[in-house]
Amino acid sequence: MEQTASRTAVLVCQGRAAADGFLATDRFSDPVAIELLDDAERVVVDQVRAGSPPDGFAARSEYEMVRGTSEVMVPRTVAIDAAVRASAAPQAVLLGAGLDSRAWRMDALADVTVFEVDHPASQDDKRRRIGDRQPVCGRLVYAPVDFRNDDLPAALADVGHRASEPTTWVWEGVVPYLTREAMTSTLAAVAECSAPGSRLVVNYQAPSLVATAGRLLNRAIMLLARRTSPMAGEPWRSLWTADQMRQALESAGFHVKSDDDLYALRGDLEVSGLSAGSMRNGRVVVAER
């Protein structure tokens, strides 16, 4: 059973922390990310922010992983944040929230009730990390859900989610780790709880030989470095083309408004193209009901 935040969730948080104040400073900001990291997890973030690669194969491998993640997280975060700001729904649900910081940094959520949905053990770890920092959203509600066994609509209803009112759903960094069956069943549950006017923002991964090879190479490098890769225990289980994702969303009653890869979303953001491969297969789709 999972007892702490997933290693991937920590890596994503490290990437946001490394980018804050250094990349696309006019569009991207996440000052809370660094506060969600333990001291040992901050060391490599400080190295990346200082542009000081460490000596040694193992340490340098971790450095490059966090540096690359920081570049990918900028367009992904900016795009999702923009979609959230553009929604007028009175409630928002973060599916598989992990170490998401939106409830503590987005003033646009000041009048919104935010429900963070995640595994109970992950939520315990998140709450330990955030401590007594107060959220800026209207109200923050934790909804402990084990997606393998729990009924999502019932779990949300138990903590006050109102299926009769519009909801902004954020499903970031989760879909690739789900089987197609798990993804479509969760999507059906989301649709069941989505009143007209709801918005669903999904980050997913498109098929890519380059990205798949990159993940395998990362695991090999970390193995040689005698370190555990964040990808080792969290393999990708489903990849989706844009057409497949559109069909899945439309079958659930959602209409796709936009679907772009992160490289296109990078646009005029001050982010180098060094992580172009990862950006091209990462996508953000915005759909409405």
Give the separation between CA 270 and CA 267, rounded to whole angstroms.
Answer: 9
Name the one residue in this structure whose structure tokens are 């909801």: 167
Q: What pLDDT does 5 receive?
A: 62
Distances (CA, A) of 109 to 63, 129, 173, 249, 271: 33, 21, 21, 25, 27
Reported pTM: 0.92
The predicted pLDDT at position 157 comes to 98
Residues in the chain with pLDDT values less than 70? 1-5, 209-233
Residue 226: the pLDDT is: 61
pLDDT at res. 276 = 79
**pLDDT at residue 1, rounded to an integer:** 42
For residue 123, the SS3 value is helix
Chain length of the chain:
289
**Nearest one of 129, 138, 216, 147 to 183, comparing CA atoms:** 147
Instruction: Give the per-residue pLDDT at 57.
Output: 85
